């Protein structure tokens, strides 16, 4: 399994360590949480003592299923396609009902890539990628922020997941559209942070594969 490097940028007076370590007895939501980085985030939150819900288009395996018993927290999976506004809204409605409107930390981590060259990329491929990586992240953050403000949490944090690919080309990888999508996530972070302060803290992660 490749190692992951992470660079953190933050706004509104918080940082990643504070957001993840101080979540005992709080509620976290992770999109794309059934596998990969999303699952790792979900596991980290559970290990720190948070109840964790995940949105994904695929069912989680035993790794996620075991978190509740292993760490003594509540977990839940919802089948949600973040590229669909209707699916995302329904997912939040169910999550809000099941968890009594609780939400303190949200990590919109759902993302896809298409390993095609710039000359091969179709409009449909690009549209699908942007729908998940950009619109999915944006509207997940929006719905999460609304819920956090409504429930009055004093610990609201949204961790937006971008990539080093949003800043530079990655040698030997065909990912021009992916780079653009992660650059968009990075660009919206400061603006969202200014609008939501002081109610909700916004954190930006730039990750990369390092081996």
For the chain, helix (H) and strand (E) counts, in that order, are 8, 7
Provide the pLDDT confidence category of residue 172 given band limits of 50, 70 and 90.
Answer: low
Indicate the class that CATH gives domain 27-207.
alpha beta
Q: How many residues does the chain have?
A: 211
User: pLDDT per residue over 83-136, tens digit each?
Assistant: 999 999 999 999 999 999 999 999 999 999 988 999 999 999 999 999 999 999
Instruction: Report pLDDT digits (tens) over 22-69.
Output: 788 999 999 999 999 999 999 999 999 999 999 999 999 999 999 999
Q: How high does pLDDT run on average in the chain?
A: 88
pLDDT in tens, 139-162: 999 999 999 999 999 889 999 999
Distance CA(74)–CA(46), nearest Å, equals: 8
Nearest to 113 by CA among 29, 170, 52, 43: 170
pLDDT band at 14 (very low <50, low <70, confident <90, very high): very low
Helix 123-130 to helix 176-196 angle (10° resolution) is: 30
* CA–CA gap between residue 29 and residue 52 (Å, rounded): 6
Predicted TM-score (pTM) above 0.85: yes
Going by pLDDT thresholds of 50, 70 and 90, the confidence category of residue 210 is: very low
Q: Tokens at residue 194, please? A: 């200014």
The secondary structure of 186-201 as a DSSP string is HHHHHHHHHHHTTTSE
């Amino acid at each position: 399994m490749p190692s992951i490097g992470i660079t953190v940028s933050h706004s509104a007076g918080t940082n990643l360590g504070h957001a993840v370590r101080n979540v005992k007895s709080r509620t976290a939501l992770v999109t794309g949480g059934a596998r990969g980085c999303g699952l790792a985030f979900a596991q980290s939150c559970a290990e720190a003592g948070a109840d964790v819900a995940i949105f994904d288009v695929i069912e989680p395996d035993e790794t996620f299923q075991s978190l509740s018993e292993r760490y003594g927290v509540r977990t839940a999976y919802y089948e949600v396609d973040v590229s669909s506004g209707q699916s995302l809204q329904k997912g939040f409605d169910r999550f809000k009902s099941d968890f009594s409107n609780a939400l303190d930390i949200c990590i919109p981590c759902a993302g896809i890539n298409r390993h095609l060259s710039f000359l091969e990329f179709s409009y449909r491929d690009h549209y699908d990628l942007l729908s998940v990586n950009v619109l999915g992240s944006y509207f997940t953050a929006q719905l999460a922020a609304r819920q956090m403000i409504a429930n009055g949490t004093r610990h609201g944090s949204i961790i937006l997941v971008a990539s080093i690919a949003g800043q530079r080309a990655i040698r030997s990888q065909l990912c021009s559209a992916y780079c653009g999508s992660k650059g968009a996530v990075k660009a919206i972070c400061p603006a969202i942070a200014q609008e939501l302060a002081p109610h909700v803290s916004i954190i930006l992660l730039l990750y990369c594969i390092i081996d």
